[in-house]
Each structure stands twice: as C-alpha cells, then as structure tokens.
Amino acid sequence: MRLIFLGPPGVGKGTQAANVSLKENISHISSGDLLRTAVDAKTEIGLKAKEYIEKGLLVPDELVVKIVVEKITSAECEKGFILDGFPRNLSQAKSLDNTLNESGKRIDKVFYFTASEDVIIKRIAGRRICKSCGAQYHEMYSPPVNDNVCDKCGSELYQRKDDNPETTSVRSKVYKEQTEELIDYYKRNGELIEVNCNGEKSEIQQNICEGLHSMSEDEKGME
Ligand code: ATP
Ligand code: MG
C-alpha cells in the first residue's frame, strides 16, 4: 500500500501517519523529518536545506527528491509507505510518478487533510517533539505525563524552530501558492480522499481507516 498524506502545515499529517504506519505495518516517510535529521547531522544536503527550513520556504526540489527517492526505493519500503510532506509541488509529484513507474508501481490513495485556520494555528503553537524518537505532543491537547519528557523514551521535548508565528505564516502562504494545486492533480490522476481534521484524534483515525478500506471506483468496476 502506497499512500500520500497531503494538507497544510500543522494539520496533523505526522500524527496520523505515525498511527497508520503502525497499524498497517508500512513505512512512514516524513520529508520534514528526513531534512531535519540531515540538518542535525550536518550532511551536505542538511547544510544546504537549513536556511530554507528556518525561513519556512521549500527546500530546492533536487535535494528533497534525492532524499525521498532514496527512501522509497529502499528495502524498508517494499511493503509500502506513507509519504508525509512530499510531494509539495507539481515538479516533485512528477518525479515521484516517474520513480514509481520505473518499477511498475503507483500511489494507491491520497488522503487530503483539512482543518480550519484557527485549529491549525493552535496546533502548531503548542506542538512539542521528542529530541530523540520524534514522538509528537501538544502542550494542551496531548501533553506528556511528565512535563517536557517523552512518554515513549524519556528524552527531552523541544519546539521546532519554524513553529513560531512568523515562519508559520510563511509556511501557510507557501502551501497555498505551491502545494495546493496538487489537490487537483491527484483528483485527476488518482483517488483523493478528504479527511476533516477539526475533531478528535480518534474520530480522524476512524475516518482514515474507512478511507483506507473503501474500494476505489476501479476496484468496484472489476467486481
Ligand atoms: P507539519 O509538520 O505540521 O505538517 P510542515 O508540513 O510545514 O508542517 P514539515 O513537513 O516538517 O512541516 O516541513 C518543514 C520544512 O521542511 C518545510 O517548511 C520545508 O522547508 C522543508 N520541507 C519538507 N518537505 C519538503 C518538500 N517536499 N519540499 C521542499 N521542502 C520541504
Ligand atoms: Mg509534519
């Protein structure tokens, strides 16, 4: 099963992807996490990507495509994957299509997550992440048991540098200008399933689950 999770920054793609990845036993590939790991490790790509991330701009396609394609063509993605944060523009979507075509594969479903601006701003402002395992928390909505300590591995939590109000508003603008057109692209080229993320985590999970197991128009035709 090969899935794309599409939607504005802060809508909750990462949280939902982690969950589906566990349940369905497929890899969770977050382009943002891959880039942040590269930045921390000071790799060639990381050094180049850093300034873009801190400004809230898209990292140049050739860098992101390289890092993501390496992952999806690796053995750990053989059973399938969830792409979270990639593709983010048409050129990336086409690179992805080409890569998959080369091995006769395709994207099965695209989940498009939506939420009101209000909800998104609150989610980003309160987001805290584990330094070591990457688990995500929220100050108010899903706090850890002990203040600032990860429930899963005991490491310290931090706030992403780009989760401040100024950079968040740039990220939101970039999303509207460059990423939003992918909604139409995937409507035309595949199956797009819209999931409203204003509600509770459990309700959202239930909606994704239904979307995952619903039959596509093609499959219905084959019955
Ligand atoms: P959220 O994690 O809340 O969904 P987000 O989507 O803005 O928010 P990430 O996906 O973690 O956050 O991305 C953080 C930054 O990493 C982006 O602002 C951008 O600079 C860079 N980045 C991540 N994925 C891509 C991509 N596919 N193309 C270009 N830049 C990317
Ligand atoms: Mg994310």
Both structure tokens of 126: 């309160």
Which pLDDT score, from 0 to 100, does residue 200 have? 87
| Long-range contact set of residues 126-132: C-beta below 8 Å, sequence gap at least 24 | 127/10, 127/159, 127/160, 127/163, 128/157, 128/158, 128/159, 129/157, 129/158, 129/159, 129/160, 130/155, 130/156, 130/157, 131/155, 131/156, 131/157, 131/158, 132/156
Q: Is 56 in the pocket of ligand 1 (CB under 6 A)?
A: yes
Q: pLDDT band for position 191 (50/70/90)?
A: confident
Nearest to 196 by CA among 207, 209, 210: 207
Per-chain mean pLDDT for the chain: 94
Of 3 and 217, which is predicted with more confidence? Answer: 3
Percent of the chain whose pLDDT exceeds 90? 89
Between CA 33 and CA 30 the distance in angstroms is 5
Cα–Cα distance between 185 and 90 in angstroms, integer? Answer: 8
pLDDT in tens, 122-148: 999 999 999 999 899 999 989 999 999
Query: Is residue 12 lining ligand 1, measured as CB closer than 6 Å?
Result: no
| Closest atom, ligand 1, to C-alpha of 57 | 20
Q: How far apart (Å, rounded) are the C-alpha atoms in residues 209 and 103?
A: 27
- 169: CB partners within 8 A, 6+ apart: 56
Does residue 113's CB lie within 6 angstroms of at least one atom of ligand 1?
A: no
Residue 189: is its pLDDT beyond 70? yes
Burial class (CB in 10 A: 0-12, 13-18, 19+), 139: middle
Going by pLDDT thresholds of 50, 70 and 90, the confidence category of residue 68 is very high
- Closest ligand 1 atom to 84 CA: 10
Cα–Cα dist 133/155, whole Å: 8
Ligand number, closest to the Cα atom of 182: 1
> In the chain, what are the domain boundaries?
2-115+164-222, 117-159
Ligand 1 pocket check for 8: Cβ under 6 Å: no
Q: What is the pLDDT of residue 201?
A: 85
**Topology at the third CATH level for domain 2-115+164-222:** Rossmann fold (3.40.50)
Measured CA to CA, the distance from residue 176 to residue 35 in angstroms comes to 21
pTM: 0.92
Q: Residue 217: is its pLDDT beyond 70?
A: no
User: What local confidence, expressed as pLDDT, does residue 223 receive?
Assistant: 57
pLDDT of residue 222: 60
Query: Which residues are identified as catalytic?
Result: 13, 88, 127, 160, 171
The tens digit of pLDDT for each residue in 69-110 reads: 999 999 999 999 999 999 999 999 999 999 999 999 999 999
Measured CA distances, 124 to 32, 73, 128 (Å): 14, 31, 9
Closest CA to 143 of 155, 158, 128: 128
pLDDT beyond 80 at 193: yes
Report pLDDT for 219. Answer: 65
| Whole-number pLDDT of residue 147 | 95
